[in-house]
Amino acid sequence: MSNVCLGIEHFLQLSGNYLDSSPFNLSSKKSHSLQQLAHLIAVRSKAVLGYDLEISSKSQERKNKENRVLHLSIKKSEKTGLTLEQNLEQEIDNTLLFCKKHFYSEI
């Protein structure tokens, strides 16, 4: 979320010289599969909140059939001088703590 806020602030302050009809992409330079992200979230949940999360997924055969590649370029955004933070673990930790603060209730 920090990068989203940084990106929005950056793009709002851009000179009109950078504006045309093509989009600005806001993403990191590294991609992760949903399985990789789920595993990382589970690891961070245990470390930050003490919660064990169970990850379940489709069978490997079905995943292979549905696996698609998305090519996303951030060159246009980088040309404007946008620099994003690359700390995924910290972003996950912050999101987990936010959710605990705002959505957790003891029964």
Given a cut of 50, whether residue 107 has pLDDT beyond it is: no
Please classify residue 80 by burial: count the beta carbons closer than 10 Å to its beta carbon, then call 0-12 exposed, 13-18 middle and 19+ buried: middle
The percentage of the chain sitting over the pLDDT mark of 90, rounded to a whole number, equals 37
In the numeric block, the tokens 């399985």 are attached to 35
Measured CA to CA, the distance from residue 7 to residue 25 in angstroms comes to 9
pLDDT band at 47 (very low <50, low <70, confident <90, very high): very high
Verdict on whether the full-model pTM lies above 0.75 = no
pLDDT band at 80 (very low <50, low <70, confident <90, very high): very high
In the numeric block, the tokens 């999101």 are attached to 95
Spell out where 1-107 has E strands: none
